[in-house]
Amino acid sequence: MQAGPMEEPPSILWGLDPIFSAFARLYIKDILQMTESVQVPGIYFYNSHPIYKVDVLGTVVYKRERDDFFCYGVDDGTGVINCLCWKSELFKDKDDGAGAAPGPSDQGVFDPVAELKKLKQAQQKRCRLEIGELIRVRGPVKTSRQQREITASVFYKVEDPLMAEQIQWMMDVPELYRECYDKTFQLQPDGHGESAVSPLIKATNLIKDFIKQKSVSKFRPYDVLDLLQPLISRQPQAASADPEAAGPSGCQQLRQLLKEVLQVLQDDGVVYRRVKAQDEVYHVTEQDKDLLIAVKDIIREDSKREKYSEKGCHVLHILSAVRQRHSLNVSKAALEIVLKSLECNSDIVSTSDKHYTAF
């Protein structure tokens, strides 16, 4: 669903959307259908997200070469878009040929000129593609002669004989759509006409900053409730015969906002509840030493088993073991935070995107 001209947020707010400064991994079909901004030419909208640069992976279906650039038609299975790929200076260097082979006296001697020549040849090979080869292109979108195209800032041939890159791409892009592109980013001016993000995003960032700065390992809701108080508007309630006409009280708004924030933090894996009890205790995932030790022990022990000795333990196996030994309430998002922390500390190492083993 594309944003029409009347739905465009003011351009001063675009920078608040993190997608605006990123190379958006959109399907080519959606890139071709994006609506161009009426405020700033060259900016496009997908589901109210301002976008001007994209990242695509696809097959070359046509090519044209000129003195200064290549034109590649890239097909990702949803559509075909023209990619204008400017040649770098290395293409303009005159090549003297393959060069003489090193003689017997040259063997074992490092020749920087010859090595530089080999490097340039390798770079040229990565940039000159044939029909049927896989290409990755990143760059801004523009409309030229009423046709949508990408002006590449980076482009290269992808060597993917086992289709690992394409499979990973097909797994990552739908998740980006679910988590980012298909969610409308809440941009709204406040009462004074100043730009502001939604109260939920502000409140979530407040709690994240608090637990990071104070190195909090666990907390209860009432420990952080006061932090959100400034976000609740303090408007005097007018006297009314109908008490419900005034809407929820400030205290009710505060509790509802905190409830939503805690749910967001749990969904992101930042916090989790080890035990679902009446006394709500939230453990900060990255600061929970017991959880980190439990995950590290599972990987160290199970990596020794013949089944996992070669590739290591799959993330879903680790998650299942953690839920059995530590807490049923550990989410996959929380586990991924723990795995990242352990890997940064060199306690474990990833053998693939989904497998881990101990040193």
pLDDT at res. 67? 84
Strand order in the sheet with 35-36: 35-36, 44-46, 49-51
Give the lowest-confidence range in 115-129, 226-240, 246-260, 276-290.
226-240
Amino acid identity for residue 321 in this structure: A
What is the number of other CB atoms lying within 10 angstroms of the CB of residue 202?
15
- Cβ–Cβ under 8 Å, residues 78 and 98: no
Question: How buried is residue 83: exposed, middle or buried, by Cβ count under 10 Å (0-12/13-18/19+)?
Answer: buried
What is the number of other CB atoms lying within 10 angstroms of the CB of residue 243?
9
Work out the percent of the chain whose per-residue pLDDT is above 70.
Answer: 84
Q: What length is written for the chain?
A: 359
| Residues 51-80: tens digit of each pLDDT | 999 999 999 999 999 888 899 999 999 999
Residues of each domain in the chain carrying CATH 1.10.10.10 = 288-358
| Residues 78-88: tens digit of each pLDDT | 999 999 998 87
CATH architecture of the domain with range 288-358: Orthogonal Bundle (1.10)
Please state whether beta strands 53-65 and 49-51 pair in parallel, antiparallel, or not at all (unpaired): unpaired
Task: Indicate the pLDDT class of residue 202, thresholds 50, 70 and 90.
Answer: confident
Amino acid identity for residue 97 in this structure: G
Exposure of 252 in the CB half-sphere (CA atoms within 13 A): 5
What CA–CA distance (Å, rounded) separates 115 from 101? 12
The DSSP output letter for 280 is -
What CA–CA distance (Å, rounded) separates 167 from 169? 5
pLDDT at res. 186? 64
Task: Indicate the pLDDT class of residue 12, thresholds 50, 70 and 90.
Answer: confident
CATH architecture of the domain with range 198-233+249-284: Orthogonal Bundle (1.10)
Superfamily of domain 5-92+113-181 in the CATH hierarchy: Nucleic acid-binding proteins (2.40.50.140)
Token pair 């990071």 is found at 212
For 212, residues 6+ apart whose C-beta sits below 8 A from its C-beta are: none
Q: By C-alpha distance, which of 36, 30, 42 is closest to 8?
A: 36
What CA–CA distance (Å, rounded) separates 271 from 333? 10
Residues of each domain in the chain carrying CATH 1.10.10.980 = 198-233+249-284
| Residues 290-339: tens digit of each pLDDT | 999 999 999 999 998 888 888 899 999 999 999 999 999 999 999 999 99
pLDDT at res. 5? 44
Residues of each domain in the chain carrying CATH 2.40.50.140 = 5-92+113-181
